[in-house]
Chain A
């Protein structure tokens, strides 16, 4: 291994889209069942609320990733905007998210496979389920150590097939299965309690996590300042459409093959999910099989497509966590072992191995209640018997909401205190003002987004027993380790170490091939320095 090589720029515009899509696009495969289970007749509203917050997040990430195209994404933005300690906390929360991502998506991938192979993989065989998930995590670890280009090409093809497939499911669904009167009836009869609505909304954010992947890939994307805004806007709208579309369809669909309860009464589609962890993990496969005509084909290929897409998303988790750790390590927030690049494959192999190992630990905690009766009793007493997939969903929502909250604050701070960095894409609706003699623009959308995501964080803490304990526990552990590391290195604990952001930004833009933006940045700096000299 060597510490000199740089990450290679192998990701094209479509590659950048597919990195994001295969992560966020796969989220609906998990999120739909979880949200239907808790938000019931208000699932479409839960998705719409979380989706609007996600649009704000997406716009924030688009602006920041285009302006600062480095591996690290949200963590790096918070570091630049708010300093070392908050940068570490945001990065640590994102690391939790990506670690959970590896386990959650590998887990759900097996759930989708179980739709076709119920005799082998269904949770009635908890050990085989556990071992297959474990094997998948090991495989992804190996794939990522070998290199990014190979997995990007594969992701691109699967993302293309999935966009087509999800669109066709929506088309056939809304043409042949959707009945607006059923939607209205379901929303009237099955509107959840306030607690259920908060729980569902906090889980709905699970369907919108993944833009981090685009900014992760920014350091490996060609001409990121031009590519990132283009891919992000399309990605944001596509994902929002699928989330709102699937939830409306699920609440208002006439099932092609009606399912009956124990008393012989036909049940509504959404009623397949409450209290049924198996169904929650494969909601899109169940929905597509209920679409008239197209369901004949979809029931066979959607479980396979879902399983592959979820596996790719788990792969994004491995990719993302290793890149964030790389970025945090170069900023002296984590030990230098995380920035070592493999001399042959040019990938951060040490980071990949570490976070795949952590994902296995999380998997054991999630699977324990299914594998051992004693553990099930303990979980029942402490966490009201949440099953494995809800356990993972809780932590995923907590990590996402925490890191996104910090990113909004960082966006405001960077707009106010770093106006010299050229922004090829800027979030609309700003208030012009002057700070330290410089003209800046205050982003109103960031404030709205912060209120939205912070309320989702509060919902998560109020309604999720495991998220309430394990999420803050992870953050406290991280801050403790951070202080320990900084003390050993004789670096300031609460304050930031001196950073030369001017040189860093020049280097970032140069490495990204954004030479015009680099010239613009230098011209802005010169003009700013002259203004300051004139004021003296």
Chain B
């Protein structure tokens, strides 16, 4: 279950990175701001949850 959750949140980080790269290829401009925010949010939530899941795994050991 923990492995599944880890994989799921890796997906968040990967998706966030892809969005950020694709949107930033058009530069930082008014129209791309929401895309940049979205990419950063996905990466932030992914990393935050990965830390939480890792902590649970450590405490279970």
Contacts and interface: CB of A to CB of B under 8 A. Distances in A.
Determine which residue in A174, A178, A240, A244 has the highest number of CB atoms from chain B within 10 A of its CB, and name it. A174
Interface string A232-256: 0110011011001101100000000
Contacts of B33: 48
Nearest to A230: B52
A171 B19 CA distance: 10
B22 A240 contact: no
Contacts of A234: 45, 48-49
B44 A180 contact: no
Contacts of B31: 183-184, 187-188
- Per DSSP, chain B at the interface is helix
Interface residues of A, number: 27
Given A167-B8, A174-B15, A234-B45, A180 B37 contact: no
Contacts, number: 62
Contacts of A48: 33-34, 37
Size range of the interface on B?
A: 20 to 34
A53 to B, nearest CB: 14
- Per DSSP, chain A at the interface is helix
Contact of A241 (B8, B26, B45): B45
Interface string A153-184: 00000000000100100110011001011011
B37 A174 contact: no
A240 B41 contact: yes
Contacts of A237: 41, 44-45, 48
A44 interface: yes
Contact of A180 (B26, B41, B48, B49): B26
A44 B23 CA distance: 14
Interface in B8-61: 8, 11-12, 15, 18-19, 22-23, 25-26, 29-35, 37-38, 41-42, 44-45, 48-49
20 contacts: A47-B34, A48-B33, A167-B8, A167-B12, A171-B11, A171-B15, A174-B15, A174-B18, A174-B22, A175-B18, A180-B22, A184-B29, A187-B30, A187-B31, A233-B48, A234-B45, A237-B41, A240-B41, A244-B34, A244-B37
Interface of A: 44-45, 47-48, 164, 167, 170-171, 174-175, 178, 180-181, 183-184, 187-188, 233-234, 237-238, 240-241, 244-245, 247-248
